[in-house]
Chain A
């Protein structure tokens, strides 16, 4: 394969396997502690959730289905009354601070006016109701979170420049009187000039690892969207800078810019030490900070990864594509010395991912590896044929294909794990490699047994 100078993009049929975006409920209800998610759909949606979420379903989760019956479809029943009755029940049993309605394919097709009914019931019930249309007609898997966060953006309080300034002046005034001698003070003071809100749902431990990374550069994160509780959503508005931490949040980014007049910082995503450094550098450059100690920090992390890098260097990998994290992870793995044949991805927002894409290109050039082909809306059947030819060392794939590929001697790693594992920031770079190398390590252990091909079927599907 020769090295291409530019990245190539292709688009296939879109016949690929992925999770329905309503799955975002699974991690969002845990993230937003006082929320309740109501999926307005059918048995199909419910069945998916109950099976995909496994044991959490037994733990009295804060989500449920409003299951449509035949009467709802033929409009014999009044949607508003039905939803009102159900939400009242939820209010009584769980008393959440917010109810989030997840619109599904069914509500789209029968054109149920969730956005219209929501505000009315919100008034009647006295609980905020947010509507997010996270359905399988329009979106794939992680994009579900994007629709929820985009909808939530409208509920963030208005950021008031004037008020903020007054407060700051007050602090400054006090500061001048009281803390004239503190050296670090001037830094602190500067950091108050920039209001930075990060968006994307992360486990709170990961969020609290990223905050101090920026604090080291004397940038204070003033809030996260989503916050730990609905009642603590960060103020947004003109003068607020926002930066995404995940590649699938393009709608949220657009809404923040267009509707809330925030300033978007387009950066690569903080996945892998290279990504994290680039992400911090970009934020620093926006706030006119000269990054300090960042290079050493990155190098230190790389040194710590040596043992894993030894395993992956020179190995080849194929991303079938289903969760939109593919570009960032591929970029990190190329930097680790892997060869990426193909990056399948459900949807590619070239604007939102621009910085990430150019980092990918730079990384390929730096590592002197061929540019991978980026395949949007892939076709799993065709991919299988390509994989048969390319014989990658590892395939990142959904669970539907994992066992059959393993039975044909191709090592696999389930892509969903990357969505649930902690992969952001310097601290978690090791976790990414832990996941990627797991099948490779296991198979070195089992390798000598000679049982690699365990299917009677030919490789073709």
Chain B
């Protein structure tokens, strides 16, 4: 058992439901107690969905506990089949069914005898995987199911398209800015003369999955969801995939470079021979994206070398770290992720770019790290935004978990060239906000605040005298915390318990030596 106040990634069934309800005409039935269909609320409220979320529950209650589900699950599946004829029905286990250990596969087998729809049991274990891993698996499972079925019926279409085409794999409902990203990706591909064969799961139809192999290669924009499917397609059909996230100018060029490589491998199919994207990249970088120009402009000079902390899912945290360091010259003191299952790859990505790598699912650890570093700005999830509020540090939200503000109506991609503009705005606004605040401090615009320690967990054995506290208050906010901490370190090193003004100056002299 562990004491927990907050979690970054949700339980497994949420991942399964995100994938299932992203497809068109797929219905998910959860084997769950009353009240576990909260997913429907989130989808309806956060995504502002107009349509009913295609998720219902086969309810586990006292009777089920005493006597087992018996015919209940089967009846619920068959009923849904008659009411709506979904393409498949995905039976989704929850934590409750994980411990009940009922033979759900058996229910699925029996239900499919009468049901016109296919019935699939999502292969996820609540205690082994989290939301993101479950989403990844479920997507692979559904794709595999449809391909196998088509193969058996001899309907699998393996002929590649005449024109170069790709599948975009992994955009899903409740994903961070996924819909905008998808639109931006399509635009980028269109610019490069590439057709989009299919997008899965968002908006995809299971009837079309058998055409997946017709694409020349696959694109997996987010590592968390879609990688397993891409690997499956590579294994079965030799389809290569690109798992570089086209976020930021450098990675977007890198991404387009890989596209070029995969297309030219088939250049004999192309009427006009090999493609070259170099000039396209150059034009986009210099003139379409404002980000390259922005990093040269004097605005960006001001934030150069300032400290930032980055935390989020593996994809976004790694990409943003790269952008801050390589494209904007910002000093990333700590970069971290809660995607423990992808920690090796994450570390490889950000190693050398930051002072410290943090892999944790515990938000207090993140909070304490931020409090110790006292960066100029934070780029993180909603949780970091609140940590920032408490510490008076501006925060730009760059990753799930999110809330309704992160489902903007306006166009806000993170990927591609428009994405670079959005990110530049986000970064710039976070830094200037902080800067303005500090200027106000310097010019005495704020009321003098009481100095409190900002650490979330602390043990304080030092006494500040009244005079030294007043002195501390005179120091502008953005360095006040640092001065305080350095003084305290100095005091401890020298076994001083009462901090006077003189101790403060002594500490300062010591440091500037």
Contacts and interface: CB of A to CB of B under 8 A. Distances in A.
Interface of A: 14-21, 40, 42-44, 46-48, 50-52, 54, 57-58, 61, 64-70, 72-73, 77, 79, 82-83, 85-86, 89-90, 105-106, 108-110, 135-138, 140-141, 381, 384, 398-404, 407, 454-455, 457, 460-461
10 contacts: A46-B4, A67-B1, A69-B1, A69-B127, A70-B127, A105-B33, A137-B33, A403-B48, A460-B84, A461-B84
A399 B5 contact: no
A57 B99 contact: no
Nearest to B43: A400
B4 A64 contact: yes
Given A50-B7, A67-B2, A137-B61, A404 B52 contact: yes
Given A136-B35, A404-B51, A399 B3 contact: no
Given A15-B59, A106-B96, A400-B44, A140 B34 contact: yes
B40 A17 contact: yes
Contacts of B99: 73, 106, 109-110
Nearest to A43: B11
B38 A82 contact: no
Contacts of B60: 105, 137
Contacts of A43: 7, 10-11, 95, 126, 130
B95 A90 contact: no
A141 B403 CA distance: 23
Contacts of A89: 3
Contact of B10 (A47, A58, A77, A381): A47
A401 B52 contact: yes
Contacts of A399: 41, 44-45
A14 B59 contact: yes
Contacts of A108: 65
A14 B52 contact: no
Nearest to A89: B3
Nearest to B83: A381
B117 interface: no
B185 interface: no
B56 interface: yes
A39 to B, nearest CB: 10
Contacts, number: 164
Contact of B3 (A90, A105, A136): A90
Please list the 3 inter-chain residue pairs (A to B) with the smallest Cβ-Cβ separation, ordered nearest first.
A20-B35, A136-B33, A400-B40
Nearest to B386: A58
A51 B126 CA distance: 19
Interface of B: 1-7, 10-11, 13-14, 32-38, 40-42, 44-45, 48-53, 56-57, 59-62, 65, 76, 83-84, 94-96, 98-100, 126-128, 130, 383, 386, 389, 403
Contacts of A51: 38, 41-42
Contact of A48 (B6, B36, B56, B61): B36
A14 B383 CA distance: 36
A115 B59 CA distance: 26
A403 B50 contact: yes
Nearest to A65: B4
A136 B10 CA distance: 19
A181 B345 CA distance: 87
A148 to B, nearest CB: 16
Contacts of A57: 5-6
A80 to B, nearest CB: 11
B95 A106 contact: yes
Contacts of B98: 73
Given A136-B36, A398-B41, A455-B50, A54 B3 contact: no
Given A20-B34, A400-B37, A455-B50, A77 B3 contact: no
Contacts of B11: 42-44, 47
A217 B60 CA distance: 48
B35 A47 contact: no
A85 B99 CA distance: 24
Nearest to B35: A20
Given A40-B1, A44-B11, 10 more contacts: A44-B13, A48-B36, A54-B403, A66-B3, A136-B34, A136-B35, A137-B65, A140-B34, A404-B44, A461-B52
B7 A46 contact: yes
A89 B126 CA distance: 26
Contacts of B49: 403-404
